Chains A and B, each alone.
Chain A
Amino acid sequence: MTADLVLIDTGIWSAFFSKPASPEKRAVDALLDEDRVALTGPILAEVLRGFRRTDEADWVASRLRLAHYLEPNWEDWRSAAALGRQLAAAGHDVPLTDLVIAALARRVQAFVFSSDPHFDLIPGLKRHQKTSLAG
């Protein structure tokens, strides 16, 4: 089941909520229709932080609560640290949030939907629509 899920990164949600004509909006619409949307804590917090009004943030939270929620476990945090060391040794400073998302996605075999170039550096990661969003 989780192999079909797509962890949607914050930047994609930003476009979804603010740009009705964007390709991100169309892609997330399709994933909502297919019930393939997955979330994890750091992304949820980043998305909800973007709403100026509490009532709107609460409404969005009530709906996002119905998506598939993936929780990082102990091994994901260890894997994120190892990945961070590996990338740092190659000269890449990748934020911890991205490392945890990548570690979690790799464990459950979910796709990652993001235009963040940090994810391009991570081996063994399944990407959703990377090519079409790259322009």
Chain B
Amino acid sequence: MSGDFVRRLPRGQSGFRNHRGEFTWFNLDPWLLLILLSIVSFGLVVLHSASDGNWVVVEAQLVRLGLGFGLMVLIAQIPPYFLLRTAPFLYGLGLILLLLIYPFGTEVNGSRRWLRVPGVLNFQPSELMKLFLPMVLAWYFHERHLPPGFRPVVVSCLLLLLPAGLIIVQPDLGTGLMIATSGFLVLILAGLPWRYMLRGGALLLILAPALWFLIKDYQRGRILTMFDPERDPLGAGWNIIQSKIAIGSGGFSGKGLFNGTQSHLDFLPESSTDFIIAVLAEELGFLGVVSLLVLYGLFILRGLMMSLNAQDTFGRLLCGSITFTFSVYVFVNIGMVSGILPVVGVPLPLVSYGGTALLTLFAGFGLMMSIHSHRRITLL
């Protein structure tokens, strides 16, 4: 650690100032903010239609967005080194909360995902893990030589699998896999050697048949349904059939906002949450979908730029993994609604109606902005 000459520089105060080469405001990145606001506004319009013109839903979403913005601004003020130092403790806290679920968790629909502190708050520890895991991995690799050798890879895999496993057995396979993915993205960005990845991939292929028998019936059903929704058109296949009809019937320019029959007549299930992209596709057509994807693309682009500008490994990895995880969410959600991925409960980021996931997203953006806005002028 003593070999790090950057570390030997005095931290952050006299003689060095925050990077002010471009406009910032409360440590917020204006470009990311602009794109974020565009996506959110677009999303609110679609949500208004998807909720059948119900302003209550839109207002509730606005309140959440407000909270999210507040959280983002708050987190953006935290200096990255503080984040770096607290990362392992946060990760430990997250693990403890995940474990606390077993004695104290509230059971909903046969799975324990919620911790309830009566009258105070009510949350899913897995949401916290969505950020704490990338943070702790970024912290871990920050201290190590990159690309990582065998030992760090094993350790980081353990760090990754521990929370993911706890979440999967709740059971919440979707979230568990998404968290594992976000952690895995850190590993890849940190330079996980390709040969490890190839071996891991091969191992997974070999294990796939075993996994097939390990997963639950309804999960198998979802995979089968993806390949052939018509095998149970009124049951398991209903959602995906109806969402494909909704998307397809939108055509190039859509049926017009508020004119989607699939969503307004309730043929499309979950139309304001996980399946909201189908509403967009039905009412605004191909143009609408491509517009949203372009906005997402710009957001990802800006996120990557921010990560490239980050000045240390921790910042790069955290920023990059949040950005790529965001892309994965977008892909998985739209892929699932359009029938090329099995149905998993992944909301469309920033557009789907929903509580805690939205806050987590904004917290992540807060981290990115903190890293970006607390850069120091380099000596070079």
Is this pair of chains taken from one and the same complex?
no
